[in-house]
Amino acid sequence: MSLLDLGAPGNTLGDVYHFSAPLHSERGGPVTGELIGSKTLVKMPSDANPNLERRATLMFFTFANGKDQLVAFGAADYSPSAPEFEAGRSAVRPVLGGTGKYIRARGQVTSTRNSDGSYTQVFTLLK
């Protein structure tokens, strides 16, 4: 995670975390693609929920040297004091579409943080 801290120091609307990671079809297996994305702070904690802020996450899952891609985008709640959510927690985001063999794909991706800091991404696609 790389933070682009916009505005006043500390958490403010528009702050962006950029990230990238290799994709594996199974734990410890060969690299099958790459995930590139960003998380933007879009809603500050409120009096009703002082320990939650909302971030909009844009994710590009690329395969075959970028020829096959899936794009997901959605919002989820995070702790204001951490760039990622805690282990065991999941977020479901819509899949907006794709290219190559994923053209016309739609559906959702469920991202679950593992105890070792990695993520498991599970796609449910309708084509």
Tens-digit pLDDT profile for residues 4-40: 999 899 999 999 999 999 999 988 899 999 999 999 9
Q: What is the DSSP string of 22-91?
A: EEESSTTS-EEEEEEEEEEEEE---SS-TT-EEEEEEEEEEEGGGTEEEEEEEEEEE-TT-SSPPTT-EE
For residue 127, pLDDT beyond 80: no
Tens-digit pLDDT profile for residues 59-105: 999 999 989 999 999 999 999 988 898 899 999 999 999 999 999 99
- Residue ranges and CATH numbers for the domains of the chain are 2-126 (2.40.480.10)
pLDDT of amino acid 14: 95
Q: What's the predicted TM-score (pTM) here?
A: 0.91
